[in-house]
Structure 1
Amino acid sequence: MTSSPMSHVLMVSIPAWGHLRPLCVLAARLVSERDNVLITFLTPPNMFQKSRSEIDRQFGSGSPAIKRIRLLSISQFTDPKDLMAVFGLLVQAYPGAYETLAQGKSITCSTTGTSFDPAPAPVVVILDFFLLESLKATRALSGRSVPIISWITGSASSFIRFWGPESRGGMGDLPGKIDAEVARTNKSPVEVGEKLLKHANGSVVKLPGLPPMYDYEFHPQKLAFEIPMSMILIAAHEFLADSDGIMIASADAYERESLDAVRAWFGEMQKPVYVVGPLLPAGYAAQSDVNEWNANIADFLSNMLEKHGRRSVLFISFGTVFWPATPEYVEELIEALLEKNVPFILAHASPFARISAELSDKVKASGLGMLTPWSPQQFILNHPATGWFLTHGGHGGVTESLGSGIPLICWPFDADQPAAAAHVSQNLKAGFELIEVRTGLGLNPVYRLGGEVPKGNREAVGAEIRRVLDACRGPEGEELRRNAERLKGEFAAAWEEGGPAKATLRGFLEKYV
């Protein structure tokens, strides 16, 4: 470590735990690397305590570095299930908070009432690239004197797909395409944008680091909700164009070819790319995040370990938002697990999740499964009873699973998930991808299967799930587990002395701090 004048870094994420959690780890890495780094970390009120706990667990008892992370909320509490309201309040409160920090004044946390002493103005801002209005507010006060680094938590391959140039397999100038179509048709930007985003004519998409896929395979599920994603993508396009570089929570061990393509793309714009993943807690596989709120889960896992042995439990989670729009497919999954005598934990945190009382009673009576509205994911993945993770394939969950040496069964819906499922199953050979669960646009020919079309019915879903469960317990499953274990080691090595993530972080500090 070095001693020099204090350098202030501002870090802000959207109110989504998949974006906030790795940022907590990054904050800890920054202050641990240099003793002249002071961080102001803005978190929404509904996630304040989770963020506090996540930051605290990165440090040993009595560590002085933790005092240089000033965690605070700047907005008022609202219904945490109303994500757009939480997001809106953060955006509204940001300009005033940034002005306070830029002027070196004291600032007060809206959640705890804690007042933080005046500090030097921020020298760099790490800002979630979905916060366009916050970028504009920063530029309005500081111009280009304060660098703004885009915070990106998805995979590099999906980042290229949605924001990259067409020459690299991306969608190209989506804002320009929408403007042209609006002028031609006089339709609303939202209507035009959603049509263009989901436009599929069966063309083959070739992204760096991914196997070829038909365009509609990036949207393999009919969703249980509707969000105007095209407008979000447009705002992120503008953010990226105005930012000074990107920081991405991915790892070369996971997707080097895709990351090299991102480096080349941003290199053409003379903007740096900081690859700082995987952002897992130090000593990740040896740690747990279990607490008094999930003692029942710990007891269940211990019981299954005793009855069924190591690596016997299937953990199932579709994250906090996604859930199958076909509840009968979830029922079929549970039926198959009970039939095959596979112990499982099913987390149903999504507000769109529906579990019938009859099914819940059946699971409880079996003594083989556990249904829970919330789960300590990292704890479960690192428990010796856990053997597989059935997931939608979000980047954070994939990283945590492979960082634990746990192979995956992917059931992707949209966003970065289809790319992850293809990469994990086809390139890394560290998991399976379920194909028969596809709905909507997903019921079209599958490129990697030579044009085979999913049948789109419960019977086919059940047959595929049972086939995969059998494979998990056989030689193929063991091969996938060995590959996941290898990636676990490579992930850990990224943050060892001389590792690529640690070297990249030091490069960032040298440039800005």
Structure 2
Amino acid sequence: MNIPNLLVVPFPVQGHVNPLMNFSQKMVEHGCKITFVNSEFIHKRVMSSVAKQESLEESPTIKLVSIPDGLEPDDDRSDLGKLCDSVLSTMPSMLEKLIEDIYVNSGDKITCIVADVIMGWALEVGRKLGIKGTLFWTASAAMFALEYNIPKLIQDGIIDSHGFPITKETFQISPSMPSMDTEAIWWSKVYNPTTEKKIFKYLVHCMQHSNLAKWYICNTTCELEPSALSCVPKLLPVGPLLRSYDNTNVIARSLGQFWEEDHSCIDWLNQQPHCSVFYVAFGSFTLFDQNQFNELALGLDLNNRPFLWVVRQDNKMIYPSEFLGSKGKIVGWTPQLKVLNHPSIACFVTHCGWNSIIEGLSSGVPFLCWPYFTDQFHNRNYICDELKIGLRLNSGENGLVSRWEIKKKLDQLMDDEQIRTRSLELKEKVMNNIAGGESSENISRVVNWLKS
């Protein structure tokens, strides 16, 4: 039987590289070869965060390659509008050249392109070269249904032709799905109208190629999002896609990471009482101003319980002079799934990025939700209102989440046994998908199609 050789193309940010790398490693377990295409900027970050880089080339199953994203090294890649423009004008021709070079240099033929939905243009490159394709969605099925139905949202007067909400009322994508608030329209949650217009235009362009995909693969499960999945028949749940920490190969474990993980936090967690530690982590994009950073630090102090707080290496904030932090440990980046599964963790204070939600659900921990942008507001509502396994943090009149609000909600979460029980019940349902459940069957369907 032929060995499928997949070209995997993530959007160049941490929250998209990670799940596509987890999916790639799952495909390797099923006998596939992977060529993983990062932008040059991201490729350098991944390589520098991995120890023993020279061994990477020896991996016979996952080969890391890169193409330029068109921006200068010191350009601001957190300006998503600028990044989308540059990706679209530079990367398609570079991807085509890469595929041709792979064949010329090694005789390897790419058998399928697995493109991030927001790199959907890659399927058009594949069509030109006679390569089949499928799309991978890194957020929730509900958010895919929303993006998939952009033409309908315009037609129904929910959004205008630039993607901005017209109405303040709730709306339904289909009768089977719960009503959504216009807050769910995630591309209008980037806080800059010019950027939002660019992102929306880019999304529409990427979705034009969705008909070239055999399937849309999504890191979710049927138990989590039955109505959203029924709304898009080609959407296959394959979640939860989780990193394996059993792998003795440090490199294989670290391929999708931008920052070096601090494993000393596990030794620290081993010394804490069962179910006592607040884990505080806001992903790779969230930025606080100094006032909000102060309130968070002092709110953690007020609780007088142990906390593990991830403060990224690119953080420019200064700790307030009153901050003791004596009960806590502060690290630059963690092996997050390992942390969340640790018995000493009591709850997860999170920005509600979908990867963090999936990891939290798979670990059975309650959530304290503090969204930053895009789909995170919808994810918060889903966690708190539908699944009822978390609480939301509310900001005051000055726009800040106060230290007292943080203390109050953490106390509330610690005292609520029902939330904890629901979290553990949901964990069991979600995890059943991995060992022979529906997600596992869907992975087999994809592999069989690739091998046919």
- Give the TM-score taking structure 2 as reference length: 0.80
Q: Which residues in structure 2 correspond to 1:195-214 (within 5 Å)?
A: 196-197=163-164, 199=165, 201-206=167-172, 212-214=179-181
CA RMSD of aligned residues (A): 4.0
Residue 12 of structure 2 is aligned to residue 15 of structure 1: yes
Residue 492 of structure 1 aligns with which residue?
Answer: 431
Shift of 1:408: 0.7
Give the whole-Å Cα distance in 2 for the aligned partners of 1:427 and 1:320.
26
Distance 2:333 2:288 in 1: 17
Q: Is the 8 A contact 1:74 1:94 kept in 2?
A: no
**1:310 counterpart letter in structure 2:** H
| Amino acid in structure 2 at the alignment position of 1:429 | K
Counterpart CA distance in 2 for 1:26 and 1:341 is 40
User: What does residue 232 of structure 1 align with?
Assistant: 199
| Corresponding residue for residue 54 of structure 2 | none
Measured in 1, the distance between the counterparts of 2:351 and 2:167 equals 25
Change (3 A) 1:175 1:49: farther
- 2:260 touches 2:333 (CA, 8 Å); kept in 1? no
Structure 1: 4+ residue segments shifted above 6 A: 52-56, 84-87, 173-176, 219-227, 283-292
Indicate yes or no: 2:266 matched with 1:298.
Answer: yes
Helix, strand or coil: the match of 1:202? coil
Answering whether residue 242 of structure 2 is matched by residue 253 of structure 1, we say no
Q: 1:331 aligns with which of 286, 294, 298?
A: 294
Q: Distance in 2 between matches of 1:158 and 1:68?
A: 32
Amino acid corresponding to residue 305 of structure 2 in structure 1: V
| Conserved 8 A contact 2:188-2:196 | no
CA deviation digits over 1:45-93, x for unaligned, max 9? 444477679999xxxxxxxx96232222234993596356887479735
Alignment-mate amino acid for residue 413 of structure 1: Y
- TM-aligned CA deviation for residue 393 of structure 1: 0.7
- Asked if 1:356 corresponds to 2:356, the answer is no
Please give the per-residue CA displacement for 1:364-388, whole angstroms capped at 9, x wherever unaligned: x341233444333223222222221
- Aligned partner of 1:321 in structure 2 is 285
Aligned partners of 2:40 and 2:75: how far apart in 1?
9
- Cα deviation for residue 26 of structure 1 reads 1.2
- Cα distance, 1:219 vs. partner? 7.1
Separation in structure 2 between the aligned mates of residue 161 and residue 249 of structure 1, nearest angstrom: 16
TM-score, normalised with respect to structure 1: 0.72
Match of 1:440 in 2: none
Kindly report which structure 2 residues correspond to 1:43-442, keeping only aligned pairs within 5 A, or say none: 43-48=38-43, 67-75=60-68, 78-79=73-74, 82=77, 88=86, 92=90, 94-102=92-100, 105-107=103-105, 117-120=106-109, 122-139=110-127, 141-142=128-129, 145-165=130-150, 170=153, 177-178=160-161, 193=162, 196-197=163-164, 199=165, 201-206=167-172, 212-216=179-183, 228-243=195-210, 244-245=212-213, 246-263=216-233, 272-282=234-244, 294-303=262-271, 305=272, 309-324=273-288, 327-349=290-312, 355-357=317-319, 359=320, 361-363=321-323, 365-434=324-393, 436-437=394-395
1:25 aligns with 2:18: no
CA distance in 2, matches of 1:420, 1:9: 31
- Partner SS state of residue 258, structure 1: helix
Distance 2:377 2:313 in 1: 19
Which shows bigger deviation, 315-324 or 420-429?
Answer: 315-324
AA partner of residue 38 (structure 1): K
Query: For the residues of structure 2 that align with 1:298 and 1:503, how far apart are their CA atoms?
Result: 34
Equivalent AA in structure 2 for residue 508 of structure 1: V
**In 2, are the aligned partners of 1:285 and 1:404 still within 8 Å (CA)?**
no
For 1:125, give the aligned amino acid: I
Question: Gaps spanning 5+ residues in structure 2: where?
Answer: 52-57
Q: Secondary structure at the match of 1:130?
A: helix
Task: Find the structure with the greater CA-based Rg.
Answer: 1
Q: What do the CA deviations read for 1:241-281 (whole angstroms, capped 9, x no partner)?
A: 32323222222232222222222xxxxxxxx3222221113
Q: Evaluate the alpha carbon distance shift between residue 282 and residue 490 of structure 1 in structure 2; reply closer, same or farther with a 3 A threshold.
A: farther
| Amino-acid identity (%) | 21
Q: Is the 8 A contact 2:35 2:62 kept in 1?
A: yes
Distance of 1:217 and 1:83 partners within structure 2:
21
> Structure 2: how far apart are the matches of 1:38 and 1:128?
18
* Relative contact order higher in (CA < 8 Å, ≥ 6 apart): 2
State the 1:13 CA deviation.
0.6
Post-superposition shift, 1:24?
A: 1.3
Distance 1:14 1:369, change over 3 A: same
Number of equivalenced pairs: 431
Tell me the CA shift for residue 161 of structure 1.
Answer: 2.9
Instruction: Quote the Cα distance in structure 2 between the aligned partners of 1:33 and 1:217.
Output: 36
State the AA in 2 paired with 1:502: S
Rounded Cα–Cα distance in structure 2 between residues aligned with 1:286 and 1:343: 30
Shift of 1:468: 1.4
Amino acid at match of 2:116: D
Structure 2 counterpart of 1:312, which letter? Answer: S
1:460-493, CA deviations, whole angstroms, 9 ceiling, x for partnerless residues? Answer: 844533331221221x2x2222222222222322
Report if aligned partners of 1:320, 1:350 keep a CA contact under 8 Å in 2. Answer: no
Instruction: Name the CA distance, whole Å, in 2 between partners of 1:392 and 1:296.
Output: 23
Alpha-carbon distance in 1 for matches of 2:292, 2:249 = 34
Q: Is the 8 A contact 2:154 2:160 kept in 1?
A: no
Q: 1:283 to 1:42 in 2, by over 3 A?
A: same
Counterparts of 2:167 and 2:159, CA distance in 1? 20
1:175 Cα deviation from its structure 2 partner: 13
* Matches of 2:377 and 2:269, distance apart in 1: 30
> Structure 2 counterpart of 1:419, which letter?
H
